[in-house]
Amino acid sequence: MVPAIFGLSGLTLTDNERAFFRDADPAGYVLFGRNVADRAQLRALTDELRALHGRDRTLICIDQEGGRVARMKPPVWPPYPPGEWFGRLWDVAPATAIEAARANAEALGLDLAEAGISVDLLPLLDVRQPGAHDVIGDRAYGAEPLRVAALGRAALDGLARAGLAGVVKHMPGHGRATADSHKEMPTVDASAEELEIDLEPFRTLAGAAIGMTAHVRYTAWDAENPATQSPFVIGEVIRKRIGFDGLLMTDDLDMEALAGSVPERAARAIAAGCDLVLNCWAKMDDMIGIASATPVISAAARERLARALRDTTDFAADFAPGAPMERHAALVAKRDALLALADA
């Protein structure tokens, strides 16, 4: 098994993709808007991905946060609010905000489960900081570690109720970055003591099944390498100080914060201690290069992958197309009624 999550080029698999994926056996797949047309098409695509390897529990993920980050869009799928909305409700009634975040994530999860998706790249546990780049911005739950952790836990719980695994991101914290890691390398010069604030939500939710690294350089820990490629940040900060023992995946390797070819980036991330690399853009040369540049998935990573998927939906046995939409409608109504309290 290649320790990678690969993207797809379109609404259906090409012959080349089908042959490559069957041979390479990647750990999982990631979907984007280019892979999504309607309910029937998307479910057919995810069914084929599972059938390629004969695994009903396959890591098929999507970045469906709500707000400006949503790959499944109206009019086929409903919109969902960004994390900031639940943070505003927290200012009025923290327990109510937790309830709203949980209902929202469960409803969102039902949409994904119906589509055959097993993992959502949610929640963000980044602690929002003044003066930071708005690449995180309203995606964050807030600027206090306690609320970020509480609302993040609610999102994980809601997704789990829908049969999905969530992903805590971006470890060990993207909230201070003053640059967009999609475009350039952000450097954070905060002290190790100051960075304890960023670690706190991740430490609180260290038992999460899956985490994603940040393409951010923290000079207090490693002045040369971003977290994704830093043995110290992964081994000492994420694994030891945070205490995270779940499946650790990178953010997208194509982001311009990283240097070198995509296969070189992948090799450095795996060597630094990441379990899986995320390669989103379905460029066949890059995917072949990653398969050649990385070792076979480690035994520890394979065990973490199995653990992460253990409680997700068994699509062959548990979940046919046509999710319980009455349950979905009730959850959305509940969420909306609770969020309205923030404006009352």
Neighbouring-strand partners of residue 164:
none
Q: Which helix (H) or strand (E) holds 92?
A: helix 83-92
Strands (E), the chain: 2-7, 26-31, 59-62, 119-120, 165-166, 168-171, 187-188, 210-213, 217-218, 247-252, 276-279
| pLDDT-based confidence at residue 29 (cuts at 50, 70, 90) | very high
The total of other beta-carbon atoms located within 10 Å of residue 156's CB is 26
The confidence score (pLDDT) of residue 181 equals 86
Q: Which amino acid is at 290?
A: I
Put residue 83 in one of left, alpha, beta given phi > 0 → left and psi -120 to 50 → alpha. Answer: alpha
**Residue written as tokens 């995509």?**
262
Identify whether 182 is a catalytic site residue.
Answer: yes
Cα 210 to Cα 112: distance, rounded to the nearest angstrom: 17
Q: How many structural domains is the chain composed of? A: 1
What domain range is 13 assigned to? 2-343
The confidence score (pLDDT) of residue 313 equals 85
The confidence score (pLDDT) of residue 208 equals 98
Instruction: Give the percent of the chain with pLDDT over 70.
Output: 97
Which of 182, 189, 314, 336 is labelled catalytic?
Answer: 182
Pairing mode, if any, of strands 210-213 and 187-188?
unpaired
Structure tokens at 4: 């990678």
Burial class (CB in 10 A: 0-12, 13-18, 19+), 228: buried
The string of pLDDT tens digits covering residues 145-164 is: 999 999 999 999 999 999 99
The total of other beta-carbon atoms located within 10 Å of residue 306's CB is 11
Structure tokens at 192: 């190790």
Indicate if the alpha-carbon torsion angle 326, 332, 336, 338 is positive or negative: positive
Quick check: 317 pLDDT over 70? no
The confidence score (pLDDT) of residue 319 equals 59
Assess contact for 200 and 150: CB atoms under 8 A.
Answer: no
Structure tokens at 81: 């609010």
Quick check: 314 pLDDT over 90? no
Cα 86 to Cα 96: distance, rounded to the nearest angstrom: 9
Which of 63, 198, 251, 252 is labelled catalytic?
Answer: 251
**Residue written as tokens 């602690």?**
127
Structure tokens at 168: 């805590």
| pLDDT-based confidence at residue 322 (cuts at 50, 70, 90) | low
The string of pLDDT tens digits covering residues 236-282 is: 999 999 999 999 999 999 998 899 999 999 999 999 999 999 999 99
**Residue written as tokens 């990678």?**
4
The confidence score (pLDDT) of residue 344 equals 67
Identify whether 251 is a catalytic site residue.
Answer: yes
Task: Give the residue from 202, 243, 198 showing the smallest Cα distance to 220.
Answer: 198
CATH number of the domain that 222 lies in? 3.20.20.300
Quick check: 320 pLDDT over 70? no
The total of other beta-carbon atoms located within 10 Å of residue 191's CB is 10
Alpha-carbon separation of residue 155 from 119, 158, 299, 332 (angstroms): 13, 5, 29, 14
Q: What is the DSSP letter of 321?
A: S
Put residue 48 in one of left, alpha, beta given phi > 0 → left and psi -120 to 50 → alpha. Answer: alpha
DSSP, collapsed to helix, strand or coil, labels residue 124 as: strand
| pLDDT-based confidence at residue 343 (cuts at 50, 70, 90) | confident
Neighbouring-strand partners of residue 120:
62, 166
DSSP, collapsed to helix, strand or coil, labels residue 191 as: coil
